[in-house]
């Protein structure tokens, strides 16, 4: 049952990642990967919310592992950072690495704070 919940969550998260990434990136005429950063920060926030609830195993399997795992994308973040550096855009590559990690950690923390505030 757990594997099915993860697969269902991923079936929602992966297309949402693609659509969000394309929509955000289409609005920016920049080499900076704004779409990937958006989905990664969003996934970190949602996971922070879930962890602080605490959510039961089924919810964590579906939403935490499946949905957030498919929504966020460390591999694309890594690829885009290396691609920027290889293309000579070293400052955007550095900014992407630092800002993505800081924003992801900050978003997870904010998600936890919001969850704790709501649940008392």
Residues annotated as binding site?
69, 72
25: CB partners within 8 A, 6+ apart: 33, 34, 35
Which residues belong to the annotated binding site for Na(+)?
69, 72
Q: Return the closest-CA partner of residue 106 out of 57, 54, 58, 40.
A: 40
For the chain, report the end-to-end CA distance as a whole number of angstroms: 31
Q: What is the C-alpha separation between 90 and 85, in angstroms, rounded?
A: 5
The DSSP code sequence of 19-39 is HHHHHHHHT--SSS-HHHHHH
């Amino acid at each position: 049952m757990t594997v099915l919940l993860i697969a269902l969550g991923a079936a929602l998260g992966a297309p949402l990642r693609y659509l969000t990434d394309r929509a955000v990136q289409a609005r920016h005429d920049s080499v900076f990967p704004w779409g990937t950063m958006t989905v990664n920060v969003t996934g970190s926030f949602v996971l922070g919310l879930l962890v602080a609830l605490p959510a039961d195993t089924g919810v964590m399997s579906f939403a935490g592992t499946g949905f957030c795992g498919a929504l966020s994308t460390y591999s694309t973040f890594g690829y885009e950072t290396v691609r920027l550096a290889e293309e000579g855009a070293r400052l955007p590559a550095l900014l992407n690495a630092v800002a993505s990690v800081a924003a992801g950690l900050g978003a997870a923390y904010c998600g936890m704070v919001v969850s704790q505030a709501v649940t008392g």
